Amino acid sequence: MKADLTPLILEASPNWKDYQLLDSGDGKTLERFGPYLLIRPRPQAIWAKTLPASEWKKAHALLVEEQQEYGGKWTMLNPMEKSWKLSYGKLQFQAQLSSSRHVGVFPEQASHWDWMTERISASRKPFKVLNLFGYTGLATLAAAAAGAEVTHVDSSKHAISWANLNMKLSGLTDKPVRWIAEDALKFIKREARRGNTYQGIIMDPPKFGRGSSGEVWDFFKRMPELIEACRSLVAKDAGFVILTAYAITASALITRQAMEEIVGKRGEFTTGELVTVEESAGHVLSHAIFTRWRP
């Protein structure tokens, strides 16, 4: 029997109260993050804006990119704080303007948080989760709140400090979370040698980056090593593996086949794109490709 390769278009969770994609067009998005409206560049928004200019003028900040995908400079349009609190369900975390186009949260990933929370909560045994390239730790928060013991790995000490702050804001500092400021590939190779395994693995590798000691990460060059090392980290009683990839020129089938290399062809695979749908005219913006696996 042939594998079902039908892609799933997974919309941002309807449980969001602090995020909305209000409008898009002319290469930009107008988004609400809590009390603030932000304008960010989005080349794939090739259509015309729907909302009138008066609505866009309500934005608090505009990001002007200096180099495609890697950063830019925020221009203040209306008074706002440079950092503020957001919430998703019982989770609370800090958002802030930075040199990156990101503000500390990827709203489209909330669907992953909901899905893995169900897997963890349904487990009646100890559940260890490995969060690779963990960034500001929102997946770590969700897993810890659901009862998992989490190992959070990111090469950026700044990101780990931010994730720690988010744990405090969410009142989860008593949860068992291990923070690892290290190159993800180095760490998991060492974990494989130690024979450690996890019931859940989350991978969100960047397109390009540098580790804490200057290690260069290139998605297409380093993924084979990541796949090989992760293969032995999947516990026999594993409940899920999630692989998400942003800003790469590839079909979602690449994450599907990477996942099959890690877990084999057993179990249930879901492959597709993470998207957000705007409020004004219903345009859909794709953010990432992904594959999720469960036994």
| The two structure tokens encoding residue 121 | 């909560």
| The two structure tokens encoding residue 243 | 């692989």
CATH number, domain 16-96: 2.60.40.1180
Which letter does DSSP use for residue 255 in this model? H
Q: Where are the domains of the chain?
A: 16-96, 105-294
CATH 1.10.287.3510 fits 105-294, yes or no: no
Contact indicator for 104, 95 with CB cutoff of 8 Å = yes
Q: What one-letter code names the amino acid at 191?
A: E
Q: Residue 120 region, left (φ>0) first, then alpha (ψ -120 to 50), else beta?
A: alpha
pLDDT tens for the chain, 295 residues long, are 456 778 899 999 999 999 999 999 999 999 999 999 999 999 999 999 999 999 999 999 999 976 655 568 899 999 999 999 999 999 999 999 987 778 999 999 999 999 999 999 999 899 999 999 999 999 999 999 999 999 999 999 999 999 999 999 999 999 999 999 999 999 999 999 999 999 999 999 988 666 556 666 678 888 999 999 999 999 999 999 999 999 778 889 999 999 999 999 999 999 999 999 999 999 999 999 999 999 9
Coil vs helix vs strand at 286: strand
How far is 133 from 154, CA to CA, in rounded Å? Answer: 5
137-166 pLDDT, tens digit per residue, is 999 999 999 999 999 999 999 999 999 999
Show the DSSP H helices in 95-218 as ranges. Answer: 110-122, 138-145, 157-169, 184-194
How far is C-alpha 267 from the chain's CA centre? 23
Contact indicator for 5, 254 with CB cutoff of 8 Å = no
How far is 224 from 228, CA to CA, in rounded Å? Answer: 6
Instruction: Determine the pLDDT at residue 290.
Output: 97
Residues in a beta bridge with 274: 10, 288
